[in-house]
Amino acid sequence: MQQDLFSLADDSGLEAVAGGRGRRLGSGTVLLPGLALAEAPNLVAEIGSIARVAPFRNMLTPGGQAMSVAMTNCGPLGWVSDRAGYRYQANDPDSGQPWPAMPAAFGQLASAAAALAGFADFVPDACLINRYLPGARMSLHQDRDERDFSQPIVSVSLGLSANFQLAGETRSGPRLRLPLVHGDVLVWGGPDRLRFHGVQSIAAGEHPLTGACRYNLTFRRAT
Ligand code: SIN
Ligand code: FE2
């Protein structure tokens, strides 16, 4: 059973970090509400440019099921899934071409967010771009296809809101249900690097910047 530990609507009990710009959700987990807000129009425009070169696609799980979340990537390495499994690769499997370059604004935001959360010198070499239409969801998983778990995960939410689920290092423990809204940035790393996480089915809606869609940028150091 899912257990709501607390709602971020009432975050008064959480430790403020980064000069009040962040809220600590765990020893290595920091929410930076609205950190990407000012940059969001530019980020969404860049997503459009990337998707013209490397279109969103519903990848297959190793079991052969199409994911409800559509994905593309930018940067030196992209995360892919198919019947052969999960991995990072330099080329888009659909085109054989390298993934589009990571826009400077993406890397800068990711490094700044990581630093605010206490992870200095984070330089991502992979940016997975997730597109959730209403009804899309991502089941609880760990990010463990990267080589160096000392590097954090930086996750940027754009467009429609999501209910993010954050568990511990086991699937079965208590889960925090964390509303993520447009512009929020969530960082987890260090002792929290292997926390299970997922996204509940996105509710129908319209966002002025993205329309009926949520985007998530997940920045990682894959190598
Ligand atoms: C992911 O875990 O890859 C996606 C997280 C999110 O969409 O917020
Ligand atoms: Fe993930």
pLDDT digit string, tens, across residues 134-193: 999 999 999 999 999 999 999 999 999 999 999 999 998 889 999 999 999 999 999 999
Domain assignment present for 16: no
Q: What is the CATH number of the domain that holds 100?
A: 2.60.120.590
- Does 160 contact ligand 1 (Cβ within 6 A)? no
End-to-end CA distance of the chain: 36
What's the pLDDT tens digit per position in 65-119?
999 999 999 999 999 999 999 999 999 999 999 999 999 999 999 999 999 999 9
> What is each CA distance from 214 to 28, 159, 160, 199, 209, in whole angstroms?
25, 5, 5, 11, 10
* Structure confidence at residue 8 (pLDDT): 55
Domain assignment present for 32: yes
* Structure confidence at residue 11 (pLDDT): 66
* Structure confidence at residue 173 (pLDDT): 85
Burial class of residue 74, CB neighbours in 10 A (0-12, 13-18, 19+)? buried
Domain assignment present for 63: no
Cβ distance 222 to 125 under 8 Å? Answer: yes
Give mean pLDDT, residues 51-63: 98
Domain assignment present for 86: yes
Confidence of residue 12 (pLDDT cuts 50, 70, 90): low
Q: Residue whose CA is closest, atom 3 of ligand 1? A: 218
Q: Which domain holds residue 158?
A: 22-56+74-220
* Structure confidence at residue 3 (pLDDT): 46
Number of domains present in the structure of the chain = 1
Does the pLDDT at position 13 exceed 90?
no
Distance from Cα 10 to the centre of ligand 1, integer Å: 23
Of the candidates 75, 60, 59, which has an alpha carbon nearest to the alpha carbon of residue 107?
75
What's the pLDDT tens digit per position in 190-221?
999 999 999 999 999 999 999 999 999 999 99
Domain assignment present for 112: yes
Cβ distance 83 to 62 under 8 Å? Answer: yes
Domain assignment present for 148: yes
Mutation probe of ligand 1 site: the residue of 140, 216, 217 with most atoms within 8 A of C-beta: 216
Domain assignment present for 201: yes
Domain assignment present for 116: yes
What's the pLDDT tens digit per position in 117-133?
999 999 999 999 999 99
Cβ within 8 Å of residue 98, ≥6 positions away: 90, 91, 92
